[in-house]
């Protein structure tokens, strides 16, 4: 039965306030990726295809996991331009950008709602275009042969969850907020329909001495 496994990238530069500065793994992010690769090896979790977005943090995570297969790099697997959307929301609607994870619990759904409703002027990508590219790339991967590993970002994984589970904006935002760095999410294709069979698995970080590495930002 075909599988698609989505992995969120390792911890990036969480102190950054723009996309370019954010787009690199921290030292912990590199370690999270290595631990995930060792876990795949220990559990004999094998893949016939590997895909990543074109962002540095995606590529560095895939390299850290250490699979022998050369990845297919596809920009359709890249993240939402959240720094841009947040800045535009602040300028146009006065929504202050939070500096801690707790603040994003209210911030994220408001940004996503405004984006979906077309109330953010000047965004480089519309909600409709993001929705379409995620659907298109996942359908193409699902149509391929063999088990696929996809290294991407939390917002994109959240959109796949939204499309699979018919979530509203609030549900989508809650899923995104829950997704941890290097977490594993798995779908099985049954009668050409994707069924979610695993969400936010961090078995490679469950040992007590690794609990500190269960990060969201």
Question: How many Cβ atoms sit within 10 Å of the Cβ of residue 64?
Answer: 21
Burial 125-148 (b: 16+ CB within 10 A, else e): eebeebeebbeebbeebbeeeebb
**pTM for the model:** 0.94
Rg (CA), the chain: 17
Domains, the chain, ordered by start: 3-75+144-154+180-209 (3.40.50.1240)
Q: Which helix (H) or strand (E) segment is 170 a member of?
A: helix 169-178
Per-residue pLDDT of the chain (217 residues; tens, 9 = 90+): 578 999 999 999 877 677 888 899 999 999 999 999 999 999 999 999 999 999 999 999 999 999 889 999 999 999 999 999 999 999 999 999 887 778 888 999 999 999 999 999 999 999 999 999 999 999 999 999 999 999 999 999 999 999 999 999 999 999 999 999 999 999 987 877 788 999 999 999 999 999 999 999 8
């Amino acid at each position: 039965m075909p599988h698609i496994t989505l992995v969120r990238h390792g911890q990036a530069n969480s102190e950054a306030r723009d996309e370019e500065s954010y787009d690199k793994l921290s030292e912990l992010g590199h370690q999270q990726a290595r631990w995930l690769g060792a876990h795949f090896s220990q559990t004999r979790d094998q893949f016939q295809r590997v895909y990543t977005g074109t962002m540095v943090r995606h590529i560095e995570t895939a390299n850290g996991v250490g699979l022998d297969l050369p990845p297919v790099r596809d920009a359709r697997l890249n993240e939402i331009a959240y720094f841009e959307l947040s800045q535009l929301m602040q300028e146009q609607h006065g929504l202050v950008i939070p500096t801690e994870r707790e603040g994003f619990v209210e911030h994220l759904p408001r940004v996503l709602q405004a984006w979906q409703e077309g109330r953010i002027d000047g965004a480089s990508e519309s909600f409709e275009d993001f929705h379409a590219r995620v659907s298109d790339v996942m359908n193409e991967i699902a149509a391929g042969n063999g088990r696929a590993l996809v290294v991407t970002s939390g917002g994109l994984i959240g959109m796949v969850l939204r499309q699979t589970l018919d979530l509203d904006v609030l549900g989508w935002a809650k899923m995104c907020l829950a997704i941890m760095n290097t977490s594993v999410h798995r779908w099985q294709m049954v009668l050409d329909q994707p069924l979610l069979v695993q969400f936010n698995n961090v078995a490679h970080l469950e040992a007590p001495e690794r609990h500190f590495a269960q990060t969201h930002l």
